[in-house]
Structure 1
Amino acid sequence: MNVNLQKYTNLKICVAVSGGRDSMALLHYLNAHAAEYNITLTALNCDHGMRGETSARDSAFVAGYCEKAGIPLSSFVAGKKPTSENDARSWRFGCYLKESQNCDCVATAHHLNDNAETVLFNLARGTALAGMEGITDEDFSALAGRPFKLIRPFIACTRTEIDEYIEANSIPYVDDETNFKADYTRNKIRHNVLPALDEAVPGAARAIYRFSRLAAEDEEYLRRKADKLILRREPYGCYILFCGEKVIFRRAAAKIVAAYYGRKDYTSEQLEHLFELQFAENGKKFEFLGLYAFHEDGRVCITDKEVFSAAADGRPYADFLNLMTNKYCGQIAHICRYGDGEDHLDALRKGMPQVPFKALRFDGGKVPASSAVRFMRAGDKFTKFGGGTKNLGDWFTDKKIPVRLRGSIPLLADGNDILIVFGVEISEKVKVDKDTKDDMCAIAADYGKI
């Protein structure tokens, strides 16, 4: 058996055991070598109930074996039977996550032939290079934001080698009848395609494994290159820096769409649209899967449609006191409140015990009682610091502030007279001067650049 246990020395390993041939062989193998490598061994069994009485039978078999072998076992039974294989897998991984709190890693019995089946299945579906990675010897799976380590000690072993080990050691097991049904796509590859391929090209499964490892190395390199293109500016979107290499750009876009926004059903055509957006005119947008993508100053920005719509309509995306940030306005402190007239002004005049670093400072005594905090409206004017009055939209253009963000930047306004553009600039009308009294106020708003 081609198994490298050296790297698992001194670890606490929990084996996922279904009672089938492969998992029973793995449990037996690790138990037989546990003392040699100082491995602390436990087992877990997941009964999702999808196969009725046979599921319960298999779980009872595993429990009996572990009791005789002296292997601690954790058993999980689904409260509600999963309705699909994907649901069953998600539930099973939830069990792995729970048990991973008591061990260093969870071991599954995937082997060389499983990897070959996965690669062939993905290839037949027209996968990209990532689908050629197959099944790795170990990785981290994340569930609910919490990663846990999975190991696959048998991944370099063939099904034949495992069968021989089972026979040589008289290892008991139970058969899963679904493994022999020809109407399962994976079973057709397992029982028909792969044996025929191995007959035509002896050692095909092992050759496919070598190929998948090379593909994984190439894919990892491309992912690292793609990651360097991504700038996250939550919650208003993620930017992709310009990249003429489609193979790199496509991976960056796919990561944003799937990992950041959870849209895993994207298509290659949509990724192509995003790539071409780089070469479109500034402001050009593309809507897909509830997302908006824009060309902005040589970059592509991808954002949630609701966030874009809120900014475009000039309405707040979130409650003002928990205002979502962008690159112009990082945070508005507790001195800001909704309201009009004297109550609002009194809140502003209270100031803060300490003036924050990089804060915009203004003279609260110069703020009219009718002022209020709001968002951009038609007809707004701004007297910039240092003098000179402009239409607010024109002033935003001078400042190179994107149209999509203008409606989400909070303003202190007296009618259409803008006194403060939070995070950017104060009006000449409220500047601090030698006559400013103790009621000077400070607005905490970061204005760092990307």
Structure 2
Amino acid sequence: MSNPFLTAVNKYNLLENNDTVAVALSGGADSVSLLHMLYSVKQKYNLTLYAIHINHMIRGAEADRDEEFCRKYCEKLSVKLFVKRIDVPNIAKDEKISTELCGRNVRYKAFDELSKELGCKIATAHTLSDNAETFMINLIRGTSLNGLCAIPEKRDDIIRPLILCDRAYIESYCKANSLDFVTDSTNLTDDYTRNKIRHNVITELKKINPSFETSLKRLCDDAKNLAEYMDKQTAAAMSDCKREYGYSTQKICVLDKIIRQNVIKKICLESTSCIPEHIHIELIENILAKGGSVDLFGDFRAVAKQGILRIEKTDNNNTDEELLFSNIIDKEFIFNNIKYFVKEIKNTDITVENQIYLSDEEINAAVLRTRRQGDKIYFEERNLTKPLRKAMNEFKIPSELRDEIPLVAVNSNVKWCKGIKSVQTSYSAEKRKFLICEQGRIFCA
């Protein structure tokens, strides 16, 4: 009989020699089996094993029973256990979310903290059956291609070695190895969507095809491979469409529909940190060729003008904001709803467009702000000083953005302005060189 645990470990490269792994241990059959399986290959991979138990403080005495069970089980295996007691009901109430979602959030936050503390992988006990349930939940609620991938075998520091083990295999494994476990009483009711799917939908589907969960996993793997390919194509298309102040509407229009919609989705996600609904993507598609604007979600809107698509806030009230340059060196900061980073560059031999050099005196006086009446900018290459408004005309900065884009100025003398190139070109010993990045993209060096 094949071992789906080892098959998953090898197929998805989940373990390496000398790994440190912390098992997310609830005390249920799945996580108890997972810790036992990893313990059985501990010597083979020279693993350092830990376990982490989250007491959600939802089920009172039953939750305390689970915690105590995990302590005794880990003592038996000489595995160090980390226990976190988190008041999920109160947190869920404060954040106005379901206890189910809140529980998931606090679990993964705890996993991330432990992973960073120990430098370890976190092994969760998601099974083939969990994967089928997640697929069906995503399908019923409505999903994109990524939702059809269901549960990933690994993501960042999370690994799922039981992803090819169905519930029947886990039950037989526990019986064969005389493993005790606890049962969460909430899993026995239909109060949660997952339980309804598990008890009613999956049960009926397996009557039609007993191998339904395995067949579905193959579909999930195909969906994952397709999603990875689409992500690469989308990234390449976005790079080709990117312009200084947004994305080329002409370039987006000629893309294949699936890539075009993915590009629009990614643009919205990067600009708003929210995934747009399909209706929003279609609304944006409708303005690409003819231009115009459409309201999206929250305070955001999409604008297609002069061949450029961009996502902007509808109520930008930050144009009078001013930041002391000396306070933002080597720091991330938000300006007009965009994240920037200022970095001092020690290597003065590197020459990049839009360099900015400031003396210590200028650094102390310089501010990052938007344009003001009377601003002027000096072009060293041409030995020419121009009013900023004329420089913005020369470099074709869209008129609707001119009151929003950042600049660095000492009084009315602009040292750098986003979108205006080659202000300073020469370096002198008494000046320091700086780099300004927007979301990882270099605008000034």
For Structure 1 versus Structure 2, the TM-score category normalised by the shorter chain is 0.7 to 0.9
The letter of the residue matching 2:105 is: S
Matched residue SS, 2:131:
helix
| Cα offsets for 1:209-247 (capped at 9, x unmatched) | 000010011111111222234469xxx976477323332
C-alpha distance in 1 between matches for 2:433 and 2:36 = 67
| Cα offsets for 1:162-210 (capped at 9, x unmatched) | 1111111111001001111123211111111111111112311111000
| Cα offsets for 1:301-353 (capped at 9, x unmatched) | 223445x554xxxx434436469889xxx99999xxxxxxxxxxxxxxxxxxx
Q: CA deviation at 1:388?
A: 12
Q: Is 2:33 the counterpart of 1:25?
A: yes
The answer to whether the 8 Å contact 2:57/2:87 transfers is: no
The answer to whether the 8 Å contact 2:322/2:368 transfers is: no
The answer to whether the 8 Å contact 1:13/1:107 transfers is: yes
Match of residue 261 from structure 1: 272
C-alpha distance in 2 between matches for 1:9 and 1:382 = 57
Match of residue 184 from structure 2: 176
The letter of the residue matching 1:130 is: N
C-alpha distance in 2 between matches for 1:359 and 1:395 = 17
The answer to whether the 8 Å contact 2:123/2:158 transfers is: yes
The answer to whether the 8 Å contact 1:3/1:153 transfers is: yes
C-alpha distance in 2 between matches for 1:259 and 1:332 = 20
Match of residue 292 from structure 1: 301
Flag structure 1 segments of 5+ consecutive residues without an equivalent.
141-148, 335-353, 362-371, 428-440
Bigger mean CA deviation after superposition, 3-12 or 163-172: 3-12
Match of residue 364 from structure 1: none
Q: Is 2:100 the counterpart of 1:85?
A: yes
C-alpha distance in 2 between matches for 1:122 and 1:333 = 43
Choose the corresponding residue for 1:252, options 233, 250, 263: 263
Choose the corresponding residue for 1:404, options 393, 400, 404: 400
C-alpha distance in 2 between matches for 1:403 and 1:294 = 13
Q: Is 2:210 the counterpart of 1:208?
A: no
Residue 42 to residue 320, structure 1, CA distance change in 2 (3 Å)? closer
Q: CA deviation at 1:67?
A: 0.8
The answer to whether the 8 Å contact 1:231/1:239 transfers is: no
Q: CA deviation at 1:285?
A: 5.8
Matched pairs, number = 387
Identity of matched residues, %: 28
Match of residue 343 from structure 1: none
Choose the corresponding residue for 2:52, options 44, 47, 52: 44
Matched residue SS, 2:216:
helix
Aligned counterparts, 1:404-443, within 5 A: 404-407=400-403, 408=405, 422-423=416-417, 424=420
C-alpha distance in 1 between matches for 2:164 and 2:324 = 57
The letter of the residue matching 1:300 is: L
TM-score by length of 1: 0.71
C-alpha distance in 1 between matches for 2:185 and 2:64 = 14
The answer to whether the 8 Å contact 2:23/2:51 transfers is: yes
Match of residue 426 from structure 2: none
The answer to whether the 8 Å contact 1:263/1:289 transfers is: no
The answer to whether the 8 Å contact 1:117/1:190 transfers is: yes
The letter of the residue matching 2:171 is: D
Q: CA deviation at 1:114?
A: 0.7
Q: CA deviation at 1:405?
A: 2.5
Matched residue SS, 1:75:
strand
Structure with greater Cα Rg: 1
C-alpha distance in 2 between matches for 1:69 and 1:374 = 60
Residue 238 to residue 91, structure 1, CA distance change in 2 (3 Å)? farther
Q: CA deviation at 1:384?
A: 11
Q: CA deviation at 1:445?
A: 9.9
Matched residue SS, 1:3:
helix
C-alpha distance in 2 between matches for 1:262 and 1:34 = 41
| Cα offsets for 1:17-48 (capped at 9, x unmatched) | 10011111111121122223322222111111
Q: Is 2:138 the counterpart of 1:156?
A: no
Matched residue SS, 2:122:
strand
Q: Is 2:82 the counterpart of 1:74?
A: yes
C-alpha distance in 1 between matches for 2:159 and 2:199 = 26
Flag structure 2 segments of 5+ consecutive residues without an equivalent.
93-98, 358-366, 424-430, 437-441
Q: CA deviation at 1:251?
A: 2.6
The answer to whether the 8 Å contact 2:356/2:415 transfers is: no
Match of residue 272 from structure 1: 282
C-alpha distance in 2 between matches for 1:317 and 1:158 = 57
The answer to whether the 8 Å contact 1:231/1:240 transfers is: no
Residue 14 to residue 373, structure 1, CA distance change in 2 (3 Å)? closer
C-alpha distance in 1 between matches for 2:29 and 2:281 = 42
Bigger mean CA deviation after superposition, 388-397 or 284-293: 388-397
Choose the corresponding residue for 1:133, options 143, 149, 153: 149
C-alpha distance in 2 between matches for 1:420 and 1:316 = 16
Q: Is 2:330 the counterpart of 1:319?
A: no
Choose the corresponding residue for 1:122, options 124, 135, 138: 138
RMSD (Å) for aligned C-alpha atoms: 4.4
The letter of the residue matching 2:401 is: L
Match of residue 431 from structure 1: none
